[in-house]
Structure formats: C-alpha cells, structure tokens
Structure 1
Amino acid sequence: MHCHFTSPRWQASELPGGHGHLCGIAWRGAARLGPADLGELVDPAVDPGRWRARLADLNGFHALVRHDASALVAAVDRIRSIPLYYGVADGRLYLSDDADWVRRQVGEETMSEAACTDFALAGYVTGRDTLYRRVKQLLAGEALVARDTDTGLSISLERYYRFSHAEVPGRGDAERQAALGEVTEAAFRRLVEVADGRQIVVPLSGGHDSRLVATMLARLDYPRVLTYAYGHRGNREAEVSREVAARLGLAWTFVEYSETAWQAVAATRAYWDYQQWASGWHSIANMQDWLAVKRLTERGEVESGALFVPGHCCVTGFVPPALFAAERESRTLAAGELAEALRDRHFVLRQGEGSQACFHDQVLPRLAGSYPLDEALSADAFLQAFVLFGWQERQAKFIVNTVRSFEYFGHDWWMPLYDREFMAFWQHVPLRWLDGRQAYVAFVDREFAAVSGIDTPLGNAAQQSRRSLRARLTRLAAFRRGPGARVKRAVKRLVPGLARGNTLASGGRFPPETLERLRARGYSHNGVAAQLFLERFS
C-alpha cells in the first residue's frame, strides 16, 4: 500500500505499529484532534462497526489516514472537503490527495466514455468514478479500509454518514427557530476559534448565504474581516454586497471582471494548470472566485495566513415544487419523476433532444443502481433521494470544490454553514421549511436586521439577476445562432448594458468562435468549460 500526500496542510505522527496522517481540522466534541489521536479513533484491524460512529461524531473539515504494515483506513469528512483518490494496479493500492498521481501509478491513459458523458452533462462524474476508469474517489462521509491478506489485497468501503432528511416531530416553529439560532452561533464561534485572530475574507455575493456569514461575524464582533464582490462594474450583486457590508460596518472591496481580463488569464499556463489540478479528474473547476482571489492576493489586500469563508450552505433551494404539492395533497410522485427532476436540475450543461437521449440512454442506467428511479415515491422518499444526490454529487464535488481556488493561492478556508451541528439541524426540519428556503431566508433576514438595525429585506440579488429581462433574452436559443445571433451582436453594440454579458463576464474565458458555436448547440457557459476541458486533456 502506497500513500502520497501533496498538500502542506497534512500533519503526520508515529503511532504504535504504524502512522497517522491528518489534513485539515477535526473536532470530537470540544477536543481538537491531532494525527496522534487517530490510533484511538479508527483501527483497520477491527470491525468498522466499532469505529464508524466515532467518524460520524467528528466536526470540522478534514481527511485522515491511519496505516500500518498490513492495513489502512482512509476517510474524508461529511462533505468531502478534502478529496482522497485511490487506485489498484498489480495488487498494490495507491492512495493520494492528488488524482493525477494515482492515474500515473495505475497507468491509466484513456478517459472513460461513460464518465465523460456525466462530465459533459453535469460538470462532474457521479458516484466513485472519475474520468479515468481505474482512478476512484471517496464519496462524502465515506471511509476506505484496505488489508493485505493471505489471498491478496482486500478493499472495502464504509459509509459512515449520509445527509438525509427525516423530520423530528413534536417541536413547534418557535422552538426550532431558537434552536437554529443556537446551532448557528455555535458554528460561528468554532469559526472564530479556528481563525484565531487571522484576517477573515468573505466572498460576499448578493445572496443570503454569504450575508449570514457576514452578519454573524459582525454580531460576534470579529475584528479583522474583509468582504469582497466581483463581476462587471455596476452589477446588481456587487451593489447589494457593498450595501450589506456598509450596514454591518465591515470592510469591502471590489474586483472588476471583464472579458478582456478573462482573456488575459486564459492565455496563461497557470489558468489551465489550476483547472487540471482542481478538477481531481472528476469535476470542472469552479472558476468564478479564482480571478478575484488572484487579484486580491496580487494587490496585497489578503494577508498571509488569511482564512477565506465562503457561504457554501447545506440548505438546498432546488427541491422541485412538485414535491411540496404532492406533500400537501398526500399523494405519491409517479415512477420516473425523480429521474426527470435530477436531469432538470443537475444534467443541464447541454440542452436539446440529443442531450436528453444521452441522459436517458447512458446516465440513467448508471444512476439506477443507487437511486429508486423506477418507483412511485412518497414526498419524504423523493426528498431523501433528491437531497442525497445534491449533497453527494453537486455540493461535494462542484460547489465545495471552490475552496481549491483559495488553496491554490496559499490561503486557508472554513465553511461554517457545513458545520456538523448546523447540518444536523436542517436534516430534521419539517418539509415545508425547505419550500423555497422560506424559513432559512426569514432567519437570515431577522439576523441581519438585528445586527444592522435596518428592517428592510434586501432580497437575493443573484436570483434577481438571473430573472432579469436581459438575462432571459440572452439565454433564449433563438439568439444563439443564425439571424438571432447577428441581431444580438447588433443590439450589444447599441446597448452597453447588454454588451457586458453575464455578471462574471465569463464569455472572455473562451475563444469567441468556439463559444458562439457551442452556445448555438445548446451548451451553457459551464457546458462550454466542460467541453473545452475534455478536448484539452483527453
């Protein structure tokens, strides 16, 4: 068994008969663990049932490995914030935080066609697979156990945690709201302890998640906070971001995005090196923060050792409305509705009949082994499966993977809205609390009003931007090809607001002819990014 760790965040310790390795921070109760504590936490020589619950009790963001001469346990946290990859060749196990190192050890040169289909439609590869057939990834809340036996290498996978929904009855809304306030404050006090006086840097969008982060830091009177926004100058999200920071008394800065700025960095080797490294061969790199972190670092506004705190959050806002209607009417959802809901939410980087056929013919058979796609489901069962997919796939592999951009420029990070206790609270709320995130939004608005002293809700600027007339018109297929595309170009010359494109000016990341060709074929911007990644690295 061979281990290879590349991140400087790994700590190592000698254990009786072996070694312990810990990356990140792990708490068990109030005790912060070190690599020397892994001997009491997990033991590859005994039944995993004896230590599985201890892994589930951990808080923080971490990956851990304990091994001796003949056995190994490796685990990622409940959101897989620090990925681990593995592969087997010639009876040997290779384990690393570097997917490409594993690929080279197992001698894999050709990408899997099935995995490329996932990647092109969703932006990530589902399940334990990566783009390379013999390079695997641990899922969120999972541990790998490997043993050298008389008959050869034995590997098993132990799922110690799943983010599932099960309402706890007998609690009123007032009691739940009070409990939400308590777990939120506890999560942010843990953040303050981790920060330990360092500068905290908050990507402050126009939405509610990062607003809650900023609000809680202001409420706890943390002394060194920098918030920032980015995009084209004058965008609505940045305006709301600046207003939120001003009302909370927090420092704020802005990084201007333009197609020209993206074109300049897209021509550099670092741009592609980052994407290949951050992808882990399983996901497109989430690039929207990368340019801002680069600029802030170069400008010296982010201090050495700073802690970035994004608003990534476990409270989903993407549950299909049909589920809530079924719950109110006490009826089941028909067989096949879960498959369509997953497609409509997650496999949308390419549109059109060909993409739908590709999903049904190639993706669904792979998902059918893990999800009840051909069954009529109650509202609760439907929610369980839908939320499980969103947490295990999109959140853990794409959204949370944004933290790689902070690491790439030498910074630290923390995600308080994925705190263990905060997640546990939202696993047990009534279904109606998840309808449009209404209960969560109301909580954030109340907290913000209490700290800022201003009661007028600011809404969700990101959502408003997506629903604007300009955004809707520019997404229409009729404006992506032929005469419609020519009309759009003419209008952009006459109307400066349209010429700026989307808030992130991300069209500048791609060659203009390639962007227009792929957009005309139904690719989203992330779809274009996925396609160009596959073309470059396959």
Structure 2
Amino acid sequence: MNVRLQDERWVRRRGVAVRGQAFDGADLLEAPAIAERFARALEDGAGRNQDADAHLEAVAACADSLEGFFAAVVGLDADSTYLVADGARSIPLWYDAAGSVVSDRGWIARDAVDAPRDPIAEREFLLTRYVTGPDTIWQDVFAVQPGEVVRLGSNDADEAPGVTDNGDRTITRHTYREYWPAAETPTDEDEDKCSGDQPEIPLARLEAGLRTALDRLEVVAGDRPVVLPLSGGYDSRLLAAALVERGRDVIGFTFGRSGHPDVEVSRAVAAELGIRWEFYPYSRATWREGYHGEAGRHYREWAFGGDALPFLAEWPAVRGLLEDDRLPEDALYCPGHTVATPSERLPRFAGEPQFDIDWATVGCGPAVDADERGTADEALETVDPTLEALVEYVLETHYVLWDLDDVANVSTSDGGSIQDAFRERIRRGLLGDRSPAAVWDPATAAAAYERWEWRGRMSTFTNGDCRVYEDAGLEWWLPLWDPAYVRAWEAVPLAFRRGKGLHADLATATYWRVAGITHDRAAVTDRTLDPADRLISVVRHTPVQQFLERGGDWEPPFLAPRERWREPGSHPLAWHGIVDDAILEAAPSNRNLYALRTLARVEGVDLGDPSWLADMGREWFDRSSLE
C-alpha cells in the first residue's frame, strides 16, 4: 500500500496515521491518542476473530465513539488498510480503485494511477460544481465519504464481498454514521408538545446540543481567541452571540463590498455584541490580482481533489487580514457552516399542511450562493413525496450551472442517456442503503433530500471551506457540525426544520438576549435589511472606517438589488474580476462565475487570459465542453 499523506499535521503511531482532534465524552483526544485508539481497536478485532468483517466493525465502532473533526488511515503496514472520515468529511482522503494508493490530495491518487477522466462525473461537476458519491472527475479515483470507513484489502475467500477491482484486492465501504433527520412519525404526545408556536421539546434539545458543541469548542480553543467569518445570516450570529455570552474573546471578520447587506448586518451584529470586527473590502482588482497570482494558482491546484471546486469566498480576506496583522495566527477559526443548511432548500411536499416560508432564513450568508434560487418573489415548488419526484427536483434544482439539455443527447458507455446516469447517482445519494420504499411521505422525502445534501453538496463543496484556513496555516473547528448539534437537529420535526426555522429562532433569541436589542432588530438578516438602513449604517457604525474602507469616497455604497447580482460588476463579492473582460463579453449572460470556473477547470483554460478565444470563440461556452 502506497500511503502518501502530504499535510505535516498527520501523526503516525503504531501503524495508524491520524489528523485532527475528537472527543470521547468530555475528554479531548489529540491525534496521537486517536491513533492509539484505532490501533487497539484493530488488535481487538483481530483477537476476537480473524474474519475481515470483525476488523472492519472494530474500526467503525472506534470511529463512531469519537466526536470531532478527524481522519485516519489504519493499518499502514498491514494487508488491509482502513480509511476513516468523520461525519462532516472535514479532512478528505482519496484512494484508487485497485486499493494501491491513498492520499490526502486527490491529484496524487490521479497521478499515481494515470487516471483518465470519468465522463459522467465530469459532466456532473460541470453542472453542479461538485461530484456526488465517492467518485471524482477521474476514473477509478474515489473519495472517502462522510461517516464512512473504507477497507482496502486482499481478496481472501473468507472476506465479505466488497467492490472487487481485480483478482487481488477488494474495496469495502461501510457507513458508520448516517444522517436521516426526523423521518419517524411522531406520537400523539410529541405532536401535542411540538405543535403551534411552542416547539418546546425540539428547541430544548437543540439548545442542549449547542451547549455541548460550544463546551467542546471552548476546550479546543483554550485561552485563544475565537475568530468567526461573520455574515449577515443566522449561523455565525448564533455562534458570536453564544460565545460572547460565555465571556469568550471573539473576533469577527467580513468581506465584500461596503454597503452590501451582508456587510452592513455583520457590522451591526459586531457593534451590538461589542466584539472586534475587521472588514476586508473586495474589488475586481482584489480578485484579478489574488486569483491569478502565484498564491491563488497554488491554492486552487492544491485544494482541488477532483470532487469539488475549491471554496473561494473568504480566501482573499483571510490572507489579506493576516498579512496586515489584523487577525491573529494563533486563534481558533470557526466557520459557521451548519447541518441545518440542507433544510433551506426543501420543496413543499404534496399533502403537507399549508405553511409560509420565512425567506429571511433561506440562503442568507456571505453571498456565496447569492444568485441561486431562494428569493422572496419565487414560489416554492410543490412536489410529490416520492423517490422519483425527488430525483427530478434535485436534477432540476442543482444541475443548473449549464443547460441540462446540452447533455441530454450524450450517451454513456453502456448506451444509456447521461441524464439517466445522473438520476441513478441522485437515487443512491437520496437512499444510501435504504430501499426505495423508505421514501413514502413528506417526512421521509425531506429526510432523503437532506441526506443527499449532506453527502453530496455539504461534505464536498461547502466543508471544503476548511482548506482556506489550512492554506493560511490556521487551525479551524466546525461547531455547528459537531455531532451533538447534528443529532439535535436530526431530531427536529420537519415543520420546525423547514427553512432551518428552529435554528434561526435559536440564533435570534440568543442574539436578542445577549445584545439587548429589540426582537425585531435581532431578526434582521441580509435578506431583510432595508435599503435605507444600508445607507444609514454609513454613520450608525464606525463612520470613520466606512469612509476609509471605500478610499475616501462618500458616494452611496453598493446597493445593487439581488436580481442584478448575476451581472458582471454587480455581484456583492465583486468576484467577476477573476474573469477577463473579453471572456465575460463572450460568455452567456445567464452563466454565473461557478459555471465559468467549472468549465475552465475541465477545459484547462485561463479565465484571465482571453487568447484562447480566438480559436474557440463563443461556441466554446455553448456546447463543446458538454457534448
């Protein structure tokens, strides 16, 4: 087995390599202690039974007993090697189909086996910016999935069947930690206690889960300050308010264009909580210089594992604030990504009671997905609570960066259509090991959809945000993906989970209590901030800084409405500066930056250099890369 782990934070003990930290109850285990746990587990499995199943079950049980953010390679020198990912897949691992190479860099596995491209996974990446399931855009290169143990072992007759890749090796995948939220039918007593405007039981559970998550965060942080990327949404607000209430030293930072509601709400939240706040303004020049400079090129190549675009939103801000000594290097950085996010994009299900969506809770945050669905003037789609209806909803909602019709006539190697191949991938992501009969009503349909996002989108693209902090040499933690909070959210009934409503209620109540402001003010997000309020904030909070952050310009700040954010020059992150003007002019106006980045990644062209346009022209954007 060729194990090629590049990050210097991997610790090797007794044939086990571990990165990260995890809790066993209240006890924090560092990487050496985790490695010792896995080594003992493997020995215990061997002592009980020489069967490979016993070894796999022992490793999986050990992984399931640990709560935190870690990855492990167990059995470095043994015939069988076990790859372990935590429930958020916060530290990715990749391997090849022959079970011959393992790495924490997808491209190393690709190069080791000289892997060609996988046409189906590559097209899924083009349409979504990530690849669902264990696949990558390279054939026979796979990623360990969240909450999964992968066994790479010799193909002995006594072993349980896995994915047999050749006559000598098998790959066996085992999910030890699932996510299937609140799909059980509640009892009458539960219904009574969780109905109306008083969701007492689920809220109490959610508060308890948050307390455990924050207790753990404080242990990890020790005496260090906690730095939060502070957005205009509820997630980072919840963390900031709860940590201030605990007396922690909290620093918030925000990025984008002055006057954008995300920036102005963040500015107000920091001021009302009394925490230090740093703002890093973005412009076209910021992106042009950073993205195409040596550091930007290195980050994009280093962070690309073949299954998701590297996360970019706060990359320039983190680097710039550190270089200016405005953020400490020895702090604990805590992005607000949360298990509640998949609940934002749930459709209405036929047969559900009538309800209104609070659009203030949907899609709020640092404008990363600002031009996607989820605006107040959109009617929420209603779908049947069936597996096939859910498959179509996912296909029509997420496979949208390019026209799905452009790949409709592409055939797979077995003669089927590529859209049918996508549908089969979606089914696997919705169900896992469950039967199709597991989806039969609104509660189970919602659970399946949220499972798909957990495994498909969150654990690849969104949680890939951790690479931004690693690239800067910083330590990170994901408190709202702590298993205690995940379990608490998983138990929330659909009615209170939809639109991540109960999560938003907890954030509002915590912020209101700590900041001492009105409840209405505590509930304001980037989605609901009035345009006049955005202008008033010029003088309400840090007026001198407002003046300086726009280079002394007292003109009204960024006020472009959401419906214009697709237009180059009008996005609140100004990140169209990545793309040369000639390329922007040639590109279809309805294609956002994610679409251009996926196409550039697949085709290997430079978005800052338009010289290739002379040969390819506008048609390059239309069909050539998708057919």
Query: Where does residue 485 of structure 1 map in the other structure?
Result: none
Query: Where does residue 4 of structure 2 map in the other structure?
Result: 4
Q: Contact (CA 8 Å) 1:263, 1:510: kept in 2 or not?
A: yes
**1:363 partner amino acid:** F
Q: 1:318 aligns with which of 332, 344, 350?
A: 344
Is 2:142 the counterpart of 1:136? yes
Q: CA deviation at 1:267?
A: 2.5
Is 2:136 the counterpart of 1:101? no
Q: CA deviation at 1:374?
A: 8.5
Q: Secondary structure at the match of 1:190?
A: helix
Query: Where does residue 260 of structure 1 map in the other structure?
Result: 285
TM-score (norm 1): 0.87
Q: Contact (CA 8 Å) 1:206, 1:241: kept in 2 or not?
A: yes
Please, which runs of 5 or more residues in structure 1 have no aligned partner? 481-498
Tell me the alpha carbon deviations over residues 29-55 of structure 1, each in whole angstroms, 9 at most, x when there is no partner: 223332222223445745233453432
Provide closer, same or farther for how the CA distance between residues 243 and 357 of structure 1 changes in structure 2, counting only shifts above 3 A.
farther
Is 2:113 the counterpart of 1:113? no
Greater displacement, 192-201 / 374-383: 374-383
| Alignment RMSD (CA, Å) | 2.7
Tell me the alpha carbon deviations over residues 455-487 of structure 1, each in whole angstroms, 9 at most, x when there is no partner: 233446343589997221454xxxx7xxxxxxx
Provide closer, same or farther for how the CA distance between residues 304 and 369 of structure 1 changes in structure 2, counting only shifts above 3 A.
closer
Q: CA deviation at 1:387?
A: 0.7
Is 2:128 the counterpart of 1:76? no
Query: Where does residue 170 of structure 2 map in the other structure?
Result: 154
Tell me the alpha carbon deviations over residues 242-292 of structure 1, each in whole angstroms, 9 at most, x when there is no partner: 110111111001000001111112321321221122121111111001011
**1:97 partner amino acid:** D
Provide closer, same or farther for how the CA distance between residues 433 and 355 of structure 1 changes in structure 2, counting only shifts above 3 A.
farther
Query: Where does residue 363 of structure 1 map in the other structure?
Result: 422
**2:515 partner amino acid:** S
* Correspondence list, 1:173-184, <5 A: 173-184=199-210
Is 2:538 the counterpart of 1:470? no
Q: Contact (CA 8 Å) 1:465, 1:471: kept in 2 or not?
A: no
Provide closer, same or farther for how the CA distance between residues 10 and 337 of structure 1 changes in structure 2, counting only shifts above 3 A.
same
Q: CA deviation at 1:229?
A: 0.6
Q: Contact (CA 8 Å) 2:137, 2:306: kept in 1 or not?
A: yes
Provide closer, same or farther for how the CA distance between residues 122 and 466 of structure 1 changes in structure 2, counting only shifts above 3 A.
farther
Residue identity over aligned pairs, in percent, reads 27
Is 2:565 the counterpart of 1:506? no
Q: Contact (CA 8 Å) 1:117, 1:363: kept in 2 or not?
A: no
Provide closer, same or farther for how the CA distance between residues 154 and 355 of structure 1 changes in structure 2, counting only shifts above 3 A.
closer
Query: Where does residue 22 of structure 1 map in the other structure?
Result: 18
Tell me the alpha carbon deviations over residues 104-130 of structure 1, each in whole angstroms, 9 at most, x when there is no partner: 21122x322211111111101111111
Provide closer, same or farther for how the CA distance between residues 27 and 237 of structure 1 changes in structure 2, counting only shifts above 3 A.
same
Q: 1:126 aligns with which of 122, 128, 132?
A: 132
Query: Where does residue 528 of structure 1 map in the other structure?
Result: 596
Q: Contact (CA 8 Å) 1:336, 1:374: kept in 2 or not?
A: no
TM-score (norm 2): 0.75
* Correspondence list, 1:28-47, <5 A: 28-33=24-29, 34=33, 35-42=35-42, 45=46, 46=52, 47=54
Query: Where does residue 344 of structure 1 map in the other structure?
Result: 396
Greater displacement, 418-427 / 150-159: 150-159
Q: Contact (CA 8 Å) 1:312, 1:415: kept in 2 or not?
A: yes
Tell me the alpha carbon deviations over residues 114-173 of structure 1, each in whole angstroms, 9 at most, x when there is no partner: 111111111011111111102111111111112235662232111111111135654432
2:468, 2:480 → 1: CA distance?
Answer: 19
Q: CA deviation at 1:332?
A: 5.2
1:212, 1:190 → 2: CA distance?
Answer: 16
Q: Secondary structure at the match of 1:318?
A: helix
Greater displacement, 201-210 / 48-57: 48-57
Query: Where does residue 189 of structure 1 map in the other structure?
Result: 215
Q: Contact (CA 8 Å) 1:131, 1:282: kept in 2 or not?
A: yes
Provide closer, same or farther for how the CA distance between residues 335 and 451 of structure 1 changes in structure 2, counting only shifts above 3 A.
closer
Is 2:331 the counterpart of 1:306? yes
Q: CA deviation at 1:336?
A: 3.2
1:101, 1:83 → 2: CA distance?
Answer: 13
Provide closer, same or farther for how the CA distance between residues 429 and 511 of structure 1 changes in structure 2, counting only shifts above 3 A.
same
Provide closer, same or farther for how the CA distance between residues 205 and 371 of structure 1 changes in structure 2, counting only shifts above 3 A.
closer
Q: Contact (CA 8 Å) 2:146, 2:455: kept in 1 or not?
A: yes
Q: 1:211 aligns with which of 237, 251, 257?
A: 237
**1:472 partner amino acid:** E
Is 2:349 the counterpart of 1:333? no
Q: CA deviation at 1:402?
A: 0.6
* Correspondence list, 1:49-88, <5 A: 49-67=57-75, 68-88=77-97
Aligned length: 506
Q: CA deviation at 1:326?
A: 2.6
Provide closer, same or farther for how the CA distance between residues 237 and 41 of structure 1 changes in structure 2, counting only shifts above 3 A.
same
Q: Contact (CA 8 Å) 2:73, 2:82: kept in 1 or not?
A: yes
